[in-house]
Structure 1
Amino acid sequence: MSPARPVTRLDKSDVLSGLFASWDAIDQVVGDLTDTQWSQPTALPGWTVHDVVAHVTGTESMLQGAGPPEVDVDVSTLEHVRNDIGVLNERWVCKLRGLSHAELLERFRATTAERREALTGMGEDQWHEVTMTPAGPDSYGRFMRVRTFDCFMHELDVRDAVGASPADVAGPHARLALDEMATSMGFVVGKLGKAPDGSRVRLELTGPLSRTINVAVDGRAKVVDEFDGEPTVTIALDGLLFTRLAGGRVAVAHDAVTYGGDKAVGRRIVEHLNYVI
């Protein structure tokens, strides 16, 4: 690992408490759904609630060692499949569409139970070992924080699709999901939002998922604890709206965001918040 990409060392028990809480939250929201609700479309193109749960189940099955299933359709030709990861995800979704909703829920519970046992028993050396993650080479622990973020996002997908009560954002899964999103804000502000050198961008997340994220652009953009001076750009928005924008779940509505400082840069950053694959 180069000095520019240090290994992220995360406390195993903390991350696992969040990951397991995210699975529990999905289980809770889908456990009593009607057949009609299971078939509701979500914000993810081509996917119903059933498909979202199938995706989570398939990913955890793969991480438990299962190979990608064979399917009868060339999923790479589907409009919403844009890359190799999308192809892999879609194969699992297609395969598990053949299960009834009850069978899928049973499969989800069995698979996550296996994952809990395997992850709980994992040694510290393996937890901190560098592997390939959706964020590039990093520790297995970082990978599991990315999984927590992914599962938290999918819980929101399901809740939004069926009109369920808002997510519990007081749990460790919401905090860890936000930790993971905050880590990517240097990339979003500098690479995607093209904030000019010298920018000091403050994201003020409001509501129950509140947090302040500071990004300084000095050659390259990076997340910092504090600025040397006042921010040149401020962006204030609800934390759950920030989450949905980062995941590409909703369209940008600038009237839901408050800008300060260089508003043109702020608007450009918000328009490029969607960084998820």
Structure 2
Amino acid sequence: MSDPGAVRTVLADLRAEGDELDLIVGGLSDERWALATPAAGWTVAHQIAHLAWTDRAALLAVTDPGAFAAEVEKALAAPERFVGDGAEEGAALPPAELLARWRDGRELLREALLAVPPGDRFPWYGPPMSAPAMATARLMETWAHGQDVADALGVVRTPTARLRHVAWIGHRARDYAHLVRGEQPPAEPVRVELVAPSGATWTFGPEEAGQRVTGTALDFCLLVTQRVHRDDTALRAEGDGAEHWLRIAQAFAGPAGAGRAPKGGAR
């Protein structure tokens, strides 16, 4: 994603993803902001607060790396709490204030990412990020937390071509998923072949790879964002390495997630 125009393309999709979620939460009553989501202990307000908090962290990383380094030190001092603490702080705000904070923050981040010179990288909680990669990561998180919100509210979302960004970062984060668990990443690559919402095929990784994953883009994206248990997908793995990866996959930076409990298996 080194094309100078890549960031504009991803940011356009990020804006669309944010706008779609905004339509879901923008008119909610205060009571519905307090509904529990599938993430244990998190309400709808916690989900939006987390997005707003992470957007602010990303903005700091882009505009003031030194100040962001201080935030990383706080995260390292309390790795199991810092994400939840940020969500708790935002969720305590009146819903209208939280919504305004999220809207303002995502627009400020969009403008900051547009201004990053092509090829430049800035720090993050995981590996350093380029502007297109950060925009992709924010889209992935917006979609994933939006899924929790939709599930809490009983909203069925229509999968879109924007899932390609989520699938891309999910595949790219394969080594990270191993490293964050103290495992040596496999040397053998993995091929991922997904059926897109349009019916087209999206592919990632070398065609000749012996380790393979096939299935729908929606299943893969739900899995790598840990919104579904491996056993509740119809994804197919060829090779022990591919299967193990699907058991630990995570597209997000930070500590290894606990994932979701199985509901009853699609396999």
TM over 0.5, shorter chain: yes
Alignment of 1:180 with 2:169, yes or no, is yes
- Which residue of the partner structure matches residue 244 of structure 2? 268
TM-score by length of 1: 0.70
Q: Counterpart of 1:61 in structure 2: which amino acid?
A: R
Q: Within 5 A, what are the aligned runs for 1:32-111? A: 32-65=27-60, 84=78, 87-111=81-105
- Which residue of the partner structure matches residue 27 of structure 1? 22
Q: In the superposition, relative to structure 1, how do residues 84 and 239 fare at CA in structure 2: closer, same or farther (>3 Å)?
A: farther
The runs of at least 4 aligned residues of structure 1 exceeding 6 Å deviation read 189-196
**Matched residues in 2 for 1:196 and 1:116: separation?**
35
- Which residue of the partner structure matches residue 3 of structure 1? none
Query: In the alignment, is the contact (CA less than 8 A) between 1:131 and 1:139 conserved in 2?
Result: yes
Query: In the alignment, is the contact (CA less than 8 A) between 1:182 and 1:213 conserved in 2?
Result: no
What secondary structure does 1:141 align onto?
helix
Q: Within 5 A, what are the aligned runs for 1:134-153? A: 134-153=125-144
Q: In the superposition, relative to structure 1, how do residues 116 and 148 fare at CA in structure 2: closer, same or farther (>3 Å)?
A: same
Alignment of 1:242 with 2:220, yes or no, is yes
**Matched residues in 1 for 2:176 and 2:105: separation?**
33
What secondary structure does 1:205 align onto?
strand
Per-residue CA deviations over 1:47-91 (Å, capped at 9, x if unaligned) read: 1111010111122233444989xxxxxxx9xxxx99756543333
Q: Counterpart of 2:157 in structure 1: which amino acid?
A: P
Counting aligned pairs with the same residue, the percent is 22
Query: In the alignment, is the contact (CA less than 8 A) between 1:9 and 1:142 conserved in 2?
Result: no
Q: In the superposition, relative to structure 1, how do residues 95 and 191 fare at CA in structure 2: closer, same or farther (>3 Å)?
A: closer
Q: Counterpart of 1:240 in structure 2: which amino acid?
A: L
Q: Counterpart of 1:182 in structure 2: which amino acid?
A: H
What secondary structure does 1:208 align onto?
coil
Query: In the alignment, is the contact (CA less than 8 A) between 2:144 and 2:227 conserved in 1?
Result: no
- Which residue of the partner structure matches residue 208 of structure 1? 197
- Judge which range, 157-166 or 30-39, deviates more: 30-39
1:187 deviates by 5.2
Query: In the alignment, is the contact (CA less than 8 A) between 2:163 and 2:221 conserved in 1?
Result: no
Query: In the alignment, is the contact (CA less than 8 A) between 1:40 and 1:161 conserved in 2?
Result: yes
Q: In the superposition, relative to structure 1, how do residues 174 and 85 fare at CA in structure 2: closer, same or farther (>3 Å)?
A: farther
Q: Counterpart of 1:160 in structure 2: which amino acid?
A: D
Count residues with an aligned counterpart: 240
What secondary structure does 2:10 align onto?
helix
1:133 deviates by 2.6
Query: In the alignment, is the contact (CA less than 8 A) between 1:149 and 1:176 conserved in 2?
Result: yes
What secondary structure does 1:269 align onto?
helix
Q: Counterpart of 2:91 in structure 1: which amino acid?
A: R
Give the RMSD, CA atoms, in angstroms.
3.6
Stretches of structure 1 that go unaligned for 5 or more consecutive residues are 1-6, 69-75, 215-222
- Which residue of the partner structure matches residue 218 of structure 1? none
- Which residue of the partner structure matches residue 162 of structure 1? 153
